[in-house]
């Protein structure tokens, strides 16, 4: 666990002329502390290949690349977040249809349970493309 930075004593100069531009080391550690506790986990998780699904059949999306990962790991179709908390999870995708027009619904499951209000709906035109965002 990180050491909690205390408010520097009033005798510590905000800018130390011996350290160059910017705040002194003591003040830098104090200002940097809130950032260390608020940014706990993030990642960009992508799939670079296509997934085919039969009509009216739930199909798990699998992932094959993770970038900018920090405390988040991926195993096939499961995403593991190491820290409890409130997370902003965003889904986007490109949908391709080679047949008749169809509706697509994508949603999130957490611990095997559908997450309420997480569904994204899109209609893919006949032999066309659509963007899910």
One domain, residues 95 and 64: yes
CA 53, CA 75: separation in Å to the nearest integer? 20
One domain, residues 76 and 56: yes
9-58 pLDDT tens trace: 667 777 777 777 777 777 777 776 655 555 567 788 888 888 888 878 88
CA 122, CA 116: separation in Å to the nearest integer? 18
Query: Which residues contact residue 65 at a Cβ distance below 8 angstroms, ignoring those fewer than 6 apart?
Result: 45, 46, 47, 48
Report yes or no on whether pTM surpasses 0.85. no
The answer, yes or no, to whether residue 74 has pLDDT greater than 50, is yes
One domain, residues 31 and 90: no
The answer, yes or no, to whether residue 8 has pLDDT greater than 80, is no
Give the tokens for residue 114.
Answer: 């559908």
One domain, residues 33 and 63: no
Domain count for the chain, please give it: 2
The answer, yes or no, to whether residue 83 has pLDDT greater than 50, is yes
117-128 pLDDT tens trace: 989 888 888 888
Give the tokens for residue 53.
Answer: 């699904």
Torsion of CA 74, 58, 128, 50, to 10 degrees: 30
The boundaries of the domain holding residue 33 are: 1-38
One domain, residues 63 and 108: yes
One domain, residues 62 and 115: yes
């Amino acid at each position: 666990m990180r050491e909690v930075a205390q408010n520097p004593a009033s005798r510590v100069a905000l800018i130390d002329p011996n350290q160059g531009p910017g705040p002194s080391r003591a003040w830098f550690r104090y200002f940097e502390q809130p950032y260390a506790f608020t940014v706990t986990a993030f990642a960009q998780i992508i799939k670079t290949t296509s997934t085919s699904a039969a009509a009216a059949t739930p199909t798990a999306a699998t992932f094959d690349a993770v970038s900018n990962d920090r405390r988040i790991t991926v195993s096939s179709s499961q995403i593991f977040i190491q820290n409890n908390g409130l997370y902003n999870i965003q889904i986007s995708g490109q949908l391709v249809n080679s047949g008749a027009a169809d509706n697509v619904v994508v949603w999130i499951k957490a611990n095997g349970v559908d997450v309420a209000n997480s569904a994204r709906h899109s209609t893919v035109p006949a032999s066309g493309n659509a963007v899910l965002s």
